[in-house]
Amino acid sequence: MKKEEKMKPKATAELAKEYDELNKMVCEGKGDGKKLNELMENYDWFNVVFTDAETGKKGLKTVADEVIVPAIYDDFDEVQSYLYAPHHPAVAIKDGKYGIVKADGSGEQLCEFKFDYIGSIPFCQLFVARWDGVKEKIGIISPNGTVICPNVLTGYCEQTNEILPIKNGDKWGVIDLGNLQCVLPEYDDLEMDVEADVVFVKDGKRGYITEDGEFVTVEQYEKDGKYIDVPVISTYLPYD
């Protein structure tokens, strides 16, 4: 997700059709991958904000000219790409406040327009947000506006599998995107590897966080029998 690109020529409905056909062929092992890459790299594929001439309200459509949000809102602060997630829930603005709406053609409101700012997190179903006039910190919300992490954060980092690191100053925490468990940023460091348990470091002690939110030192977890088979936050991906 990002703002519309201005330097590249805008992709057209014809180019979108060509992309769809070629992408399908490439996925089947029959198409020209080089041509597909050229299409992807040489055009601006981001959704388009359009205005209803009669009402002045704004909506969203894809470069394929599909209306994904009707013109019923005041504005949109970001747009998604036709190449990746054109129907990802959209961040809209109404009466100076931010909300999230469906991008399936209905424009149905998913959460209240009560936030001071909302922004998508790349390749994630959650959003960063500011509210209640707090400008220097952000929180994390779901598409329906549920607060997953309160607005105590100064930032976040790229996720590893389904674990999203979050921070407040020099303190660290995580959000498990699989079950939306939030560990507030109260730890001095994180040790994260792909397909491994996440190690939290606090006051020189290394430990794990259970699904109940308990901090257990590595030594205790490995030696105390009551923790046998107790799940902890991990970057392991579940198998289907």
Give the pLDDT confidence score for residue 83 in this predicted structure.
96
Question: CA 119, CA 127: separation in Å to the nearest integer?
Answer: 6
CA neighbor of 4 nearest in space, from 50, 48, 65: 48
Give the pLDDT confidence score for residue 36 in this predicted structure.
94
Give the pLDDT confidence score for residue 32 in this predicted structure.
84
Question: CA 162, CA 148: separation in Å to the nearest integer?
Answer: 15
pTM of the predicted model as reported, rounded to 2 decimal places:
0.90
Q: Percent of the chain, pLDDT > 90?
A: 91
DSSP 3-state of 146: coil
Give the pLDDT confidence score for residue 6 in this predicted structure.
58
pLDDT in tens, 61-80: 999 999 999 999 999 999 99
3-state secondary structure 52-99: CCCCCCEEEECCCCCEEEEEEECEECCECECCCCCCCCEEEEECCEEE
Domain ranges of the chain: 1-117, 154-240
Give the pLDDT confidence score for residue 7 in this predicted structure.
83
Q: Give the containing element (helix H, strand E) for 18.
A: helix 13-27
Q: Give the containing element (helix H, strand E) for 93.
A: strand 90-94
Give the pLDDT confidence score for residue 31 in this predicted structure.
80
Q: Does domain 154-240 have CATH number 2.40.10?
A: yes
Q: What are the residue ranges in the chain where pLDDT is below 50? A: 4-5
